[in-house]
Structure 1
């Protein structure tokens, strides 16, 4: 069973429906014990980093996420679920910037797109350039279009963590892969056949 962590952030049912469409059993759950018992775990999310970390902690999911990752079971972060895996996020509120601690699974920071000609948030289709050979992108072509909705991006300390990159004002990391942990900035559940292939790849990973 694939557990999709529900910590009160975002529309999670669309992720579950995508897995179910592919023929895999997926359950949206706020029960830490169900997540602990799952064969694979997905951490989705949208919205503010600080509030989401607070919600994750209140739901009792912070130690559970760490346990699942340490166990070697396949783990997938989606959108904010990618960002939360890093050490720190710098959220901009008007003229002020506040720092929030993340899960710290990987060293690196979450930054806002620079102000400029392009609109922030980035909303819509954009390309991914594959940066490493990972089973998550099996049968996914370099330059494929996927769907994004975000104002912030991750900057890993170790560039070898990057699985794919995207250009939007800057070249940034839009996906990571290391051992059993995978995460993407885009929404595979909204990315047509490419996204479904990525979800299929994840669901078929060996633990």
Structure 2
């Protein structure tokens, strides 16, 4: 696989930036980590990572004038990857911060896991879990069905368009853990912490 151009990792003060950028560098990719819209606009691909609250993230993106940059990338066909909270930000709204709008790149909402005491499932969903893939995509090439990935989250997406769903995971409820449409990709897990399978997904993205 041939690497193609600089990967821009969007820094809005809440992402797992170092681990993502180091993983890309280990894979042979060139990385720019920052919040300068002009520099990010010149990147060939963009990654929106994230750890924290939906509302705080949207406020930080707005403060740094990054919302229009992300929407422009999505509309103009630039490859864009959302990781963990980044996936959730692609949607219109979240139960975590109902008064604030998301990026609205995909229609749908983000909801919280229900209490799963009877099934002895703790919230947040934290640790290794499997992804069952529904359809083949270049983005998941070389990754085995039911491979394990590392998750840390209390909320999950409910896309209106079910065709977006590439992979699903069970945690008391079956939720979308891998989504894709044209140039836009998203994973609920942390690929940079998911060993072979996660690094393969990152490699596939930077080689698109």
Do the structures match in fold with TM over 0.5? Answer: yes
Gapped regions of structure 1 (runs ≥ 5): 92-96
Match of 2:103 in 1: 103
Distance in 2 of aligned mates of 1:179 and 1:18: 24
Question: Is 1:4 aligned to 2:9, yes or no?
Answer: yes
1:106 aligns to what SS in structure 2?
A: coil
Please state how far the C-alpha of 1:116 moved relative to its aligned partner. 1.6
The equivalent of 2:170 in structure 1 is: 167
TM-score, normalization by structure 1? 0.94
TM-score of the two chains, using structure 2 as the length reference: 0.94
Q: Is the 8 A contact 2:90 2:105 kept in 1?
A: yes
Following TM superposition, the consecutive aligned residue runs of length 4 or more in structure 1 with deviations greater than 2 angstroms are 97-100
For the 8 Å contact 1:5–1:30, the answer to whether it is kept is yes
Distance, in Å, in 2 between the alignment partners of 1:191 and 1:89 is: 26
Paired residue for 1:13? 18
Following superposition, the deviation at residue 150 of structure 1 comes to 0.3
> Which structure carries more strand by proportion?
1
- Give the aligned length: 200
Distance in 2 between residues matched to 1:158 and 1:19, nearest whole Å: 30
**8 A contact 1:125–1:148 mirrored in 2:** yes
Stretches of structure 2 lacking an aligned partner (at least 5 in a row) = 1-5
Superposition RMSD in Å = 1.0
Paired with 1:99 and 1:54, the residues of 2 have a C-alpha distance of 12
Cα distance, 1:138 vs. partner? 0.4
Per-residue CA shift, 1:25-54, capped at 9, x if unaligned? 012111011111110000000110001000
